[in-house]
Structure 1
Amino acid sequence: MKLLIDQNLSYRLVSQLQDLFPGTEQVKRLGLTDQRDTGIWEYARQNEFVILTQDEDFLDLSLLRGAPPKVILLRTGNLPTARVLELLQAHQLMIYTLLTAESEVHCLQLA
């Protein structure tokens, strides 16, 4: 499972998440910052990413369009990058369990 990190989260997470989620990338690093949420959604769908974001618009897209892509919505407010990493590490098993292709869960919210 690879994550597409939204622009509202640090690009520094890309290298830090490679062991947990190989192939992870970030919107800015891919040159997608001028895309609307629907463009990012479509990129994630076509390239088999799970979107990692703090933007509730992706929750709305998930409810309207279903999956793929699946979404991890962080409902934590602004956190330092190290804390976001800790949160994802602590929930890695749940993320892999609930966001597998076979799972009916489209959006996982972490707080």
Structure 2
Amino acid sequence: MAKLLLDANLSWRLVAKVKLHFEDCLHVDSIGLTIPAKDVDIWNYAFASHFIIVTNDEDFLDFVNVKGFPPKVVLLRTGNQSNPYIEQLLVKHKADIQALSESKEYGVLELF
């Protein structure tokens, strides 16, 4: 099962809702990094702990392009949206996120 790490640009309130569909889901503010966490520290934590980073931040796309993967990234291309919208988007694409988790070829999933 895919393990999701929600970036700081997403609400920590999403964790409880997303955990109903993705058992392992954490928010970056709860993993012991400095707040605000640096992107490189989030990247390193996700790498070491086998998480997929869920973010609106294109900097993580740049990391994948430069460093490769893992960790893998779900890049939300939705602009600012409500928590219920983001939750529904992740649930709708649960199979795609799981496929990303298992893929040896792909490191990024963009959701629109």
What is the SS of the residue equivalent to 1:72? strand
Say if 2:29 and 2:37, in contact at 8 Å, map to a contact too. Answer: no
- Number of residue equivalences: 110
Say if 2:11 and 2:83, in contact at 8 Å, map to a contact too. Answer: yes
| Residue of structure 1 equivalent to 2:68 | 66
1:7-63 CA-to-partner distances (Å, cap 9, x unmatched) read 000111111111321121001122322331111100000011000000000000011
**Which amino acid in 2 is paired with 1:4?**
L
| Residue of structure 2 equivalent to 1:84 | 86
Query: Where in structure 1 are there 5+ consecutive unaligned residues?
Result: none
Output the CA distance in 1 between the equivalents of 2:101 and 2:32. 27
Aligned-residue CA RMSD in angstroms? 1.2
Q: From the two aligned structures, give the one with the greater helix fraction.
A: 2
1:1-111 matches, within 5 Å, as 1-32=2-33, 33-97=35-99, 99-111=100-112
Q: TM-score, normalised by structure 1?
A: 0.93
1:64-103 CA-to-partner distances (Å, cap 9, x unmatched) read 1111100000010000000000111111111112x12343
Q: Which consecutive segments of 4 or more residues in structure 1 shift more than 6 A? A: none
Say if 2:28 and 2:37, in contact at 8 Å, map to a contact too. Answer: no
Output the CA distance in 1 between the equivalents of 2:108 and 2:93. 14
Identity %: 43
What is the SS of the residue equivalent to 1:79? coil
- Change in CA separation of 1:57 and 1:67 when aligned onto 2, cut-off 3 Å: same
Q: TM-score, normalised by structure 2?
A: 0.92
What is the SS of the residue equivalent to 2:101? coil
Query: Where in structure 2 are there 5+ consecutive unaligned residues?
Result: none
